[in-house]
Structure 1
Amino acid sequence: MADVAHLAGVSSQTVSRVSNGFPGVNEETRQQVLAAMKDLDYRPNSAARALKRGEFRTIGVITFTLSTTGNVRTLEAIATSAAHEGYAVTLLPVAVPTQDEVRGAFSRLGELAVDAVIVIMEVHLLDEARLSLPPHVKVVVADSDAGDRYAVVDTDQAGGTREAVRHLLDLGHDTVWHLAGPEESYAAQRRTDAWRTALADAGRTTPEIVRGDWSAESGYRAGLHLAGQDDCTAVFVANDQMALGLLRALNERGRKVPDEVSVVGFDDIAEAGSFQPPLTTVHQDFAEVGRRCVEGVLHQMRRSGPDHGTTLVPTRLVVRASTTSPPRDRRGSKDPAPRRKP
């Protein structure tokens, strides 16, 4: 810093003010200091800054898998939002989602010096009363249920599911089958519960649940089973990747989409509009989820926001070419099926 001050012809205090982005330095002087920093390859010592300020300008992220679209896009949004606020992100993947692993991850993040932690957790774990995270840690949980103990940011899973089911029923389908995600997934359970409730509210029968593991391959295997169900004319799929496998299976078994079977997915991945046919799906705003997560931990750090409660990010149905009215012979009439009011 003294070398920069000497080269720029200013005081060390002025260099400090420019380095930290403080106001009160005229533009000409600021440019002189910045030029001197560049010439000397000067970079502020982040460790010294952290000791002085009492913060590390780093947010830790614990996640259990990077194999799902939701987790990857949420992590991307967190990193982008954190960078916009001047924070770095330290990622700590956890191989096995157990209580001991979660506690160990928090300990390791403490050693890595982070100011707050965002947990991207699909599994039912934080809703277990016996699991408690280290006290005094600023925490926001994404895509899980932490009861009333931690701040939660989640997509409106139930609202998006209800809209998807109602869309299919409004088209005239007698009921809607469901290709669900894995049982241990919080998001999958929320979507399954909402699907079942939507059918019950409409007075419709609830078909058997067919389950996958989020992958296109599991969607294909489930699709082979559903293709053999003659009364299956509409399927709500818990994510777009499984819907892709389902479409392949239905096509191979001669069940035309949407003429014979309508399909709705969930996520609205970038490729959804390029499926054959283009996929009707529930859009999740992952960028907003990531932004809300970062906003939540920053509010806690500044002691201006709650450290518990749930924030739901709205969804919307994107209607494309994979849904239509059911086949006439399945309705028992040649007349168009009456449309239900929304």
Structure 2
Amino acid sequence: MDTAVGRSGRDRRPGGTDVARLAGVSQKTVSRVFNDEPNVSAETRDRVLAAAQRLGYRPNGAARALLTGRHHRLGVVSLGTSHFGPSSLLVALEREARGSNYALSIANSFEEDPSGLAEAVDNLLAQGVDAVILSEPVDDGGDPLSVDVPVLALGAAPVVHAPIVLSVHAAEGGAAAAAATGHLLGLGHRTVHHIAGPHRWWAARERRQHWQDTLTAAGRDVPEAIEGDWTASRGYEIGARLARDPGVTAIFAANDEMAIGAIHALHEAGRSVPGDVSVVGFDDIPLAAHVWPPLTTVSSDNAELARVGLTYLIDFLNSPDSPPAPPPEHEHRLVIRNSTARPSTAEEENTRA
């Protein structure tokens, strides 16, 4: 690798002038390339990037921020948990950001910490970020969040006061939970029981609300939702309770782990899935296709959500004086497998009655 040599004769970190010299361009052109400014030809951009790679050059973020007023860094508030939804979305955001001109700073909030969300945002702002992304937030019961940079909310989120709040939402606002519930009703089940996520989670509230709205719109009874904690063990406990009620023939769980736990309990109680009870989950975790029976679920495709969200945010940051584009929609997809079926003949007769 080529190195830059200082007056002392020791190797030093290569700078923009070294890149400019090797690429045969001005230092201003190097700055334009790394600030992703227009009016640089593709050939020149490629030559500068190749020279930078050869020298091992990394732009000085602090210096660039002083010159441009931008840090080219995005802050992500994620929930500190190993649950599939938040962790897979965080990985997807990190992977997607590598193809952009932005780095990510990540601060975790924690479900048991009532001030975790505000503290995580403050931590990111102290580091210097151009915008904040809210990923799977929970309701900390505090005052509305105040942020002095643009905010992107991925899905449902708390009230935020910011220069601008962008959002990416599910198509038709909750179509995913509605589709899961509607699928079970369409098979002929009289109603659908719900194993809900923790009420402090905005995503859990949204799924519960659209399950309830779908039943109400169809003129069906709305059973009492039973709150879980996203874990298979809690799903098992709730499943054992529901298994004792012969009127339960369809269950929509707010995530796959609780759905899998419920299926375990139903089997142990002698109630077959889907012969006696149909079960639908949410997330489409890798294991969902390989449990028995394979689980019908909602695929949220977090890789696509990360791509759509980051593109939307960065487009706005690159043209802040232009009105933001309409909020993009993130499509969920119902994946139908073998854990759902028409109800038994007796239940169909009750439904017709």
Tell me the TM-score normalized by structure 1.
Answer: 0.83
State the shift of 1:96 in Å.
Answer: 5.0
CA distance in 2, matches of 1:111, 1:312: 31
CA distance in 2, matches of 1:59, 1:221: 40
- Tell me if 1:143 matches 2:159: no
3-state SS of the aligned residue for 1:192? helix
Aligned to 1:131: 144
Aligned to 1:282: 298
CA distance in 1, matches of 2:73, 2:221: 51
> Within 5 Å, which residues of 2 pair with 1:76-225?
76-95=91-110, 100-124=115-139, 130-134=143-147, 136-146=148-158, 150-156=165-171, 158-225=174-241
3-state SS of the aligned residue for 2:76? strand
CA RMSD of aligned residues (A): 3.3
3-state SS of the aligned residue for 1:225? helix
1:154/1:289 contact within 8 Å kept: no
State the shift of 1:184 in Å.
Answer: 1.4
1:18/1:30 contact within 8 Å kept: no
What is the identity percentage for the equivalent residue pairs of Structure 1 and Structure 2? 34
Unmatched 5+ residue regions in structure 1?
A: none
How many residue pairs match? The answer is 329
2:145/2:159 contact within 8 Å kept: no
Tell me: CA distance 1:26–1:248, structure 2 relative to 1, closer, same or farther (3 Å): closer
- 1:243-278 CA distance string (max 9 Å, x none): 111111111111111111111111222221112101
Aligned to 2:277: 261
State the shift of 1:204 in Å.
Answer: 1.7
Aligned to 2:11: none
3-state SS of the aligned residue for 2:286? coil
3-state SS of the aligned residue for 2:82? coil
Moved more, 276-285 or 43-52: 43-52
2:146/2:160 contact within 8 Å kept: no
CA distance in 2, matches of 1:310, 1:9: 40
- Tell me if 1:321 matches 2:338: yes
State the shift of 1:332 in Å.
Answer: 4.1
Higher relative contact order (CA 8 A, sep 6+): 1
CA distance in 1, matches of 2:160, 2:116: 22
CA distance in 2, matches of 1:203, 1:25: 60
- 1:58-109 CA distance string (max 9 Å, x none): 1110123332222122222222232222211110112357674433333321
- 1:181-226 CA distance string (max 9 Å, x none): 1111222122222222222222222223222111111111111111
Aligned to 2:18: 4
> Within 5 Å, which residues of 2 pair with 1:11-90?
13=27, 16=30, 20=34, 23=40, 30=47, 34=50, 41-90=56-105
Moved more, 68-77 or 15-24: 15-24
